[in-house]
Amino acid sequence: MSITTTWFNSEQTVLLTTFEHDYTLLDYGQALLQQRATIAEVNHVVHVVSIFHTMPKLPRAGISTVSKMAGTIPANEGLHIIVGQTMFFKMLRSVMQRMYPDAHKRFLPDVQFATSVGDALTLIKQYEHEQTAINR
């Protein structure tokens, strides 16, 4: 499988998943399960940064499968930032939002797009600053 998931920082607040080369929907599902198991190991908010070096190849049932997987996210998952292939994922998000609006009320607002890991970290800092201001 050409998908790796690792902690980005020692505080374990950012989980980095890198998708390289060809991978299947099954590979994606296994990576998602690994992400969720890793997030479940900690008791604080974890932001997920997914780096896509290549465009995923979804089978015919891919959108509904990805939609179901995305609809069951851990309570302590914060932002989910997609780096790379943003046009594809923006279109996928739009389709998922129209086809499965109720299933994604929690997930879709937390999906962000960035051009680099550095930009993703900036989005996370902004989000955390906003959350701190809201919780005061």
Structure tokens of 86? 């943003």
pLDDT at position 64 is 60
Q: Tally the domains of the chain.
A: 1
pTM here? 0.79
Range of the domain at 77: 3-134
pLDDT at position 12 is 96
Helices (H), the chain: 25-40, 62-70, 86-99, 117-134
Q: Tens digit of pLDDT for each residue in 56-106?
A: 666 555 556 666 666 667 889 899 898 987 777 777 777 777 777 766 665
pLDDT at 5 over 70: yes
Query: In terms of Cα–Cα distance, which of 69, 72, 19, 10 is closest to 42?
Result: 10
Give me the CATH number covering residue 37.
3.30.750
pLDDT at position 15 is 96
Mean pLDDT across 9-17: 95
